[in-house]
Structure 1
Amino acid sequence: MPQPAALLRTVTALATAGLLLAGCSGARPAGSPAGHGLPSSDGRAAAAPAPVPLQPLPTEVPAALAGYYRQPLSWQPCDNGFQCAGFKVPLDYDHPASGDLTLGAVRRPADGAGGQQRLGSLLLNPGGPGGSAVEYVEAVAGGYQPVVRAAYDLVGVDPRGVGRSSPVNCLSGDRMDAYTAVATTPRDQGGIDRLVAADREFAAGCQARSGPVLGHVSTVEAARDMDVLRALLGDQRLNYVGKSYGTLLGATYAGLFPSRVGRMVLDGAMDPSMDAVTGNRTQAAGFETAWAAFVKDCQTRSDCPLGSTEQQAGQHLDALIGSVGRQPLPGLGTRQLTESQAVTGVLEAMYAEFLWPQLRTALAAAQNGDGGPLLRLSDSYYERSADGSYPNLMFANMAVNCLDLPPAFSTPDQVTAALPQFRQASPHFGTDMAWMALSCAYWPIRATGVPHTVRAAGAAPIVVVGTTRDPATPYAWAQALAGQLESGHLVTYDGDGHTAYGRHNDCVDSAVNHYLVEDQLPAAGLRCAK
């Protein structure tokens, strides 16, 4: 499971299970929220520079980009009654003549139920980075909030490098199997060498298989692509719901084009101002908080395999992970469950409460020598298919994260120096997540982004939703983003799981729906109970 840094997750698969979830992800649980560490003379990561403000772009479309903003957008029937289209964007916005990329989009037209007037298009993004918005819209549109379905065309566009939009490619299925199995808790130099070799192989595969798109999949470029689509859809302003990494994409759009912000919801928010070390460490703490919530619930159940106290539960988990590290368990077919996959399986279940019963069963099975159920949870995280193939998700995830920000750590020595702080923040997951943050050190393309604040001065009101025990995007990140945005309004969900809107909490859903359909802002300081 080597990978960039923050464990972020797309949840198209979870959406099909009845949740309008999404988030971020990584091929090792991954994705850096922001920032970087610079090498110092003692091998430690030096303090990151202060975040800089994200500056808006000129309101006038540059002449060199006018053709992209005026191209025809032709919707054609596709995929179970949806409409699909493709459109061109420049590979490099600074040098538009250098070539084009083709992006894929899908929409479900507003149904106008109840005589509702059409309000335009609503772009949806499920997170990642690397999540397919096309697949997400196709998965959730039929069950999306009825009042929103009536008012908006629901639109998904795969960001550059993702899915149907000039996708990044890195490894074959068998090499991805090997990659996900490499230990992220190296106990000696040999373990460190294997981890570094896996990261290097991943990076080299991306460089060899992806071509020039690999250097142009940043969040800033993806946000600029959304503005091209906004214009082609005929909307004066962008209406948008983004989840997890989709909040970073939406906030970036707001920072670049504040006067073009329509009704925007950022659910499961990321804080773009953090350096990567701080971001990864606080995310590790978020998963520790989620684990504690799972344990508290587990110990009220008759099938809980974790003892009767939180301390006993931690001891059970540590013993199991340590045992698998020494000797992998039989898994699925010829595949064994390794230590890193066991951790990934546990972390996967932290994203949604409906996975908690599955985790209880998987932990009990592993304690009895059967690693199959935990390996299924790990496979679900990576969206591995039964035939051994992997989607583009993890490849794009690494490519975007490593381009958006410099690496959290540049050397294994820096990771080693940071381990005590990570373990203090998360006794059960801190070690894994610290080593995961090394991956971008070996990326073949220099990062183009830096930590930044987003003020979006002059933008219309933006609703930020935060969940108090969100594992992947801790609640403090939502507070930080809402505080940065000049027009930010925070809605708090006091509950568990990753993201809140569309998870059947009437308080959150009602507040967001009234905003999207009636332009009615949630009450100041709104806090919704579980």
Structure 2
Amino acid sequence: MRPAPVRHRRRPSALVAAVLGVAAVVLGACAQVVPGVAVPDPAAAAPPGLERFYGQQLAWGPCVPFAATDEDRQIYADPALQCARLEVPLDYARPDERTGTIAVLRHAAPASPERIGSLVINPGGPGASGVQTAAYLSTSLAQTDVGRRFDVVGFDPRGVGASEPAIRCLEPAERDADRRDDDTDASPAGVAQTEAEERRTAELCAERSGLDLLANAGTRDVARDMDVLRAALGDPRLTYLGYSYGTRIGSTYAEQFPANVRAMVLDGALDPDQDPTTELIEQGRGFQGAFDAFARDCASRPNCPLGQDPARTTQAYQQLTRPLIDAPLPLPDGRVLSYADAQQGTINALYVETYWPRLVRALNDLRAGQGGALMTLADEYYERNRDGSYASSQDAFEVVRCADDPRVTDPAQSLARAEAYNEAAPFLDSGRGVSSARDSCAFWPTPPTSQPHVPQVPGLAPPLVVSTTGDPATPYQAGVELARALNGSLLTKVGDEHTAVFQSSPCVDDIATRYLVDGTPAPPGATCPAS
């Protein structure tokens, strides 16, 4: 089977947990903005030709027009939330030509001499909505020292969510069909079919999104947009919280604008110098570790669908899921649970330990011939709505990945990558052999705009990097490498979840808050226990 990258994002369940109860952290640090003292004009150092973008004033208004779901509409109706559109050039090399708009949401801090500025948040993906994240997270932060000192601001990166123009690749029926196809046929005919589908996906992305958006949708340009946002918010320097893939936005911004950084918390890090093949294999190893931790816990309970022998849980999982390759399970809504969806639903539940009971129930249902619970987990991962529509996140993930990463165009390299992935994550091994099929990026019509490298960040204010020991999506060592590359402090969180800041760990939240408010780094060797 051809391995597919998993999106680097903060899990929606983590947002819910944050809304329900982030520990309030009250600090007595000195404010960073002193009344009566002049501060630099945030737009004064605009790059030549970009002055009108850097000098724009945001017109704040209601947020409901940015909502994509009924649940979002309820949250966005909160009068404490304000939304606006930020105009940016689609191509920074041609700022006088076509422009786009970035959707922005803020929850303003109370008017006070202690207000520091804005805390800009990105939840990862690529393709996740920062507007949605800020709306949910600001509720829990409002009564904390962070919410009292900072406007909490989220933005949808270019092409994502409510930003315009939108990235569009597959229509809902096409996405459903893509999910039904598990690509387990490793024969020459199967490889040819898979590559034809991948080539068609690249063509559809170009047709429906436009080559100009595809050519400029990568992290390089998202970081440029974030500096325009900083200026429009009135902040001389950026204070930023990036989760998962959002750490790549952060490290890219730090390299492009090191003097414009006030503080950065980077949680669930991607190693900026790691090639995408190594990253994929390490991610597979991380999810295998998360699966093993889930399976050990499951095997200690009498209702475990994988049995009571931890040494045989991978085999038991394979025996449950592999029959779906030949016989997908019919569902009441007319769809079927495919092998690929069973895997994706499982992966979704491995992001956070609080989802493990759901996975136990879903696998027990599968053993009984029912696939609805596992399909619901897969639908949540793909952000499929009740009406059958999808959020733009999966399309955006495809486009940004192909804009950022070097391409694998050699079938032999693709085959070797698939073999290494199966070794790293045997619970995802289909048992049908591995395919040399190349993914859509091999057929992409525009060149990549980034390459793996160690960022050069002279004069950067040292960031705080948070890395979790058993993180399934972004392995712990990547955080170690990012902290080293950016000369930042490292906070280790013990646990198996993906990302940790403002997610029910008072220890993590205290250190992150002190850093954001007054720049206090994590102490050497700082470690927070499992929540």
Shorter-chain TM-score: what band?
A: 0.7 to 0.9
DSSP 3-state at the match of 1:165: coil
Aligned partner of 2:470: which letter? R
CA distance in 1, matches of 2:330, 2:526: 48
Q: Secondary structure at the match of 1:122?
A: strand
Return the offset for 1:332.
Answer: 4.2
Instruction: State the 1:435 CA deviation.
Output: 7.2
SS at match of 2:274: coil
Distance (whole Å) between structure 2 residues aligned to residue 153 and residue 280 of structure 1: 36
Q: Tell me, yes or no, if the aligned pair for 2:88 and 2:99 is still in contact at 8 Å.
A: yes
Is contact 2:124-2:245 (8 Å) kept? yes
Q: Which amino acid aligns with 1:237?
A: R
Shift of 1:403: 0.6
Structural mapping, 1:193-212, within 5 Å: 193-211=192-210, 212=212
1:467 maps to 2:468? yes
1:74 aligns with 2:59: yes
Which shifted more, 445-454 or 75-84? Answer: 75-84
Q: Would the aligned equivalents of 1:412 and 1:438 in 2 still touch at CA under 8 Å?
A: no
Map 1:118-129; keep pairs closer than 5 Å.
Answer: 118-129=115-126
- The answer on whether the counterparts of 1:457 and 1:485 sit within 8 Å (CA) in structure 2 is no
Structure 2 CA distance for aligned equivalents of residues 70 and 403 of structure 1: 28
Counterpart residue type for residue 315 of structure 1: Q
Quote how far apart the aligned CAs of 1:511 are. 0.8
Q: Which moved more, 1:220-229 or 1:175-184?
A: 175-184
CA contact (8 A) 1:20 1:502 kept: no
Q: Distance in 1 between matches of 2:172 and 2:108?
A: 36
Question: In 2, distance between residues paired with 1:197 and 1:139?
Answer: 40
Aligned-pair CA distance for 1:118: 0.7
Q: Aligned-pair distance for 1:193?
A: 3.1
The answer for the alignment partner of 2:149 in structure 1 is 151
Which residue is 1:456 aligned to? 457
CA distance 1:12–1:352, change in 2 (3 Å)? closer
Letter in structure 2 aligned against 1:465: V
Cα deviation digits, residues 114-136 of structure 1 (max 9, x gap): x7811100001110111111111
- The 3-state SS of whatever aligns with 1:496 is coil
Query: Which secondary structure does the structure 2 equivalent of 1:315 belong to?
Result: helix
CA distance in 2, matches of 1:419, 1:214: 27
Which position in structure 2 is the counterpart of 1:262? 262
Identify the residue that residue 110 of structure 1 maps to in structure 2.
109
Please give the alpha-carbon distance, in whole angstroms, between the structure 1 residues aligned to 2:220 and 2:15.
29
CA distance in 2, matches of 1:137, 1:93: 27
- For residues 404 and 269 of structure 2, what CA distance do their matches in structure 1 show? 17
Residue 161 of structure 2: aligned partner: 163
Preserved contact between residue 494 and residue 529 of structure 1 (Cα < 8 Å): yes
- The alignment partner of 1:106 has SS state of strand
Q: Is the 8 A contact 1:2 1:439 kept in 2?
A: no
Structure 1's unaligned 5+ residue stretches are 22-58
| Counterparts of 2:437 and 2:87, CA distance in 1 | 35
Q: In 2, distance between residues paired with 1:101 and 1:352?
A: 35
Distance 1:2 1:99 in 2: 38
Q: Is the 8 A contact 2:118 2:233 kept in 1?
A: yes
Give yes or no for contact 1:270–1:477 (8 Å, CA) kept in 2: yes
**Distance (Å, rounded) in 1 between the aligned partners of 2:391 and 2:243:** 20
The answer as to whether partners of 1:269 and 1:473 remain within 8 angstroms in 2 is yes
User: Partners in 2 of 1:441 and 1:12 — Cα distance?
Assistant: 29
1:328-384 per-position Cα deviation (integer Å, ceiling 9, x unaligned): 112342111111111101111110111100000111111111111111111110010
Higher strand fraction: Structure 1 or Structure 2?
Answer: 1
1:284-295 correspondence to structure 2 within 5 Å? 284-295=284-295
Distance in 2 between residues matched to 1:89 and 1:210, nearest whole Å:
17
Q: 1:7 to 1:216 in 2, by over 3 A?
A: same
Structure 1 residue 448: Cα displacement: 1.9
Taking a change above 3 Å as real, the CA distance of residues 16 and 417 of structure 1, as seen in their structure-2 partners, is closer
Q: Hey, what does 1:447 align to over in structure 2?
A: 448
Please state whether the residue corresponding to 2:194 is helix, strand or coil: helix
State the partner residue of 2:68.
none
Deviation (angstroms), 1:2: 7.9
Say if 1:424 and 1:284 are closer, same or farther in 2 by CA, change over 3 A: same
RMSD: 2.3
- Following superposition, the deviation at residue 60 of structure 1 comes to 4.4
* Equivalenced residues, count: 488
Cα deviation for residue 170 of structure 1 reads 1.2
Determine the structure 1 residue equivalent to 2:479: 478
Whole-Å separation in 2 of the counterparts to 1:361 and 1:70? 54
Q: CA deviation at 1:71?
A: 1.6
| Distance across 2 between alignment mates of 1:247 and 1:402 | 18
Offset at residue 411 of structure 1 (A) = 4.6
Do the aligned residues in 2 keep the contact of 1:265 with 1:465 (CA within 8 Å)?
Answer: yes
Judge conservation of contact 1:116–1:150 (CA < 8 Å) in 2: no
What amino acid is the match of 1:385? N
For 2:138, the equivalent position in structure 1 comes to: 141
TM-superposition CA deviations, 1:483-525 (whole Å, max 9, x none): 1113x11100010111011221121111111111232222111
3-state SS, counterpart of residue 423 of structure 2: helix
| Aligned equivalents of 1:502, 1:406: Cα separation in 2 | 34
Aligned residue for 2:17, secondary structure, equals coil
Q: Cα offset for 1:202? A: 1.9
**C-alpha distance in 1 between matches for 2:411 and 2:183:** 12
Contact 2:18 2:140 in 1 (8 A): no
The 2-side partners of 1:395 and 1:15 are apart by 23
Query: Counterparts in 2 of 1:304-383, with a 5 A limit?
Result: 304-383=304-383
Tell whether the 8 Å contact from 1:185 to 1:435 is kept in structure 2 after alignment.
no
Could you tell me how far 1:413 is from its partner in structure 2? Answer: 4.0
| Structure 2 counterpart SS, 1:302 | coil
Rounded to whole Å, the distance in 1 between the matches of 2:52 and 2:450 is 27
| 1:213-232 paired onto structure 2 within 5 Å | 213-232=213-232
Give the partner amino acid of 1:127: G
Change over 3 Å in CA distance of 1:313–1:362 after alignment to 2: same
For the 8 Å contact 2:11–2:351, the answer to whether it is kept is: no
Q: What does residue 44 of structure 1 align with? A: none
Moved beyond 4 Å, runs of 4+: 430-437
Equivalent residue for 2:38? none
Bigger drift between 61-70 and 225-234 goes to 61-70
Are 2:83 and 2:104, in contact at CA under 8 Å, matched by a contact in 1? yes
- The answer for the alignment partner of 2:33 in structure 1 is none
Q: Secondary structure at the match of 1:360?
A: helix
The whole-number CA distance in structure 1 between the counterparts of 2:252 and 2:342 is 35
Q: Which has the higher contact order (CA 8 A, sep 6+)?
A: 1
Q: 1:342 & 1:83 partners in 2: Cα distance?
A: 39
* TM-score, structure 2 normalization: 0.87
In 1, distance between residues paired with 2:288 and 2:490? 24
Does the residue aligned with 1:96 lie in a helix, a strand or coil?
coil
Change (3 A) 1:255 1:344: same
TM superposition shift of 1:15: 4.2
Structure 1 equivalent of residue 28 of structure 2? none
SS in 2 for 1:76: coil
Aligned to 1:417: 416
1:525 corresponds to 2:530 = no
1:244–1:268 CA contact under 8 A, matched in 2: yes
Change (3 A) 1:372 1:194: farther
Which segment drifts farther, 168-177 or 432-441? 432-441
In structure 2, stretches of 5+ residues that fail to align are 21-43, 64-75
Q: Is it true that 1:64 corresponds to 2:49 in the alignment? A: yes
Counterparts of residues 172-183 of structure 1 (less than 5 Å)? 172-183=171-182
Contact 2:2 2:434 in 1 (8 A): no
Q: Secondary structure at the match of 1:17?
A: helix
Query: Aligned in 2, Cα 1:155/1:73: closer, same or farther, shift over 3 Å?
Result: same
